[in-house]
Structure 1
Amino acid sequence: MANNDSIFPISVVMNMTNLTARQIRYYETHELIRPARSKGNQRLYTQADVEKLLLIKSLLEKGLNLDGIKAVINGEKSAEAISDPANISSNRPTEIFNPQRATAQKLTSLYPVNNQEALTQWLQHKRK
């Protein structure tokens, strides 16, 4: 990849993808993307990198884990085939589809509890 093809710094890519810098660097460490570097070692992203990050984000929302995303990106399986649990062979030791992830609710608290009433009572008891 030539340096003149790489035109976006990480701050612009963050705005384009709604991903954090940490997420983008994480995908880089797992070799899902490979941005070019400037002479000052700044990451420089192409439009293809941005599109790949958007694909990663979409596949994560469908419930795929990193193994499944790598399979799609490496062309081992299509995104449509891999996002359907019926199409996934179960002979792999690591499942690439996590059906709970697709339906998981977002956390509303850093400390979710099953019984909020019991927690409230316990906290009131501790304050006395």
Structure 2
Amino acid sequence: MKEPQGPKANRTKPLYMISVAAELTGMHPQTLRVYEQKGLVSPGRSRGNTRLYSQADIDRLHLIGRLTDEGINLAGVVRILEMRERAEARDDEIDQLRARVRELEDQVSEFRTQVRITALAPYDGKGPEQVLRGFLRGDVGD
């Protein structure tokens, strides 16, 4: 998997120790450990193996808290998070496809321009320099 670039990279940078993450989310550190054990969150680790939570982890924990406060059990939370991640991945793919479509539209436009230019200055066995000189002189089609 590619490492995030730009703003996403800042959101995924491990920053907060478990005590800070617990305070930021209003959750007990043991709850955070349980969520990690169940695969709901995957904090990074320091060289000393200390859990380090990113801003994305904190946001995810806030969402988990909201969902559990609404009465959704952890199995349901897992399903919701999986669906959310798939939707985000599809959105990213759609953005990439839209960018590719724009590139192809630019290429088609360039090709059409080349076809129009070629139609205005037929080759007729002349060298490219002769065609260009004739075109610049206004000898189109001669």
**Residue of structure 2 equivalent to 1:65:** 73
**Residue of structure 2 equivalent to 1:6:** 14
Q: In the superposition, relative to structure 1, how do residues 76 and 39 fare at CA in structure 2: closer, same or farther (>3 Å)?
A: closer
Q: Deviations over 1:68-106 (max 9, x none)?
A: 1001110179xxxxxxxxxxxxxxxxxxxxxxxxxxxxx
**Residue of structure 2 equivalent to 1:75:** 83
SS at 1:72 equivalent: helix
Match of 1:25 among 5, 27, 33: 33
Gaps of 5+ in 1: 78-128
Q: 1: CA distance between counterparts of 2:56 and 2:80?
A: 15
Number of corresponding residues: 76
Does 2:43 match 1:35?
Answer: yes
- Structure number with higher helix proportion: 2
Q: 2: CA distance between counterparts of 1:10 and 1:19?
A: 10
**Residue of structure 2 equivalent to 1:104:** none
Q: Deviations over 1:45-65 (max 9, x none)?
A: 000000110111100010100
Q: Deviations over 1:17-58 (max 9, x none)?
A: 110000000000000000010110000000000011011110
**Residue of structure 1 equivalent to 2:59:** 51
**Deviation beyond 6 Å, 4+ runs, structure 1:** none
Larger Rg: 2
> What's the Cα RMSD here?
2.1
Q: Which has the higher contact order (CA 8 A, sep 6+)?
A: 1
The alignment's TM-score, normalised by the length of structure 2, stands at 0.50
SS at 2:83 equivalent: coil
Identity among equivalent pairs (%):
37
Alignment of 1:74-93 (within 5 A): 74-75=82-83
The alignment's TM-score, normalised by the length of structure 1, stands at 0.55
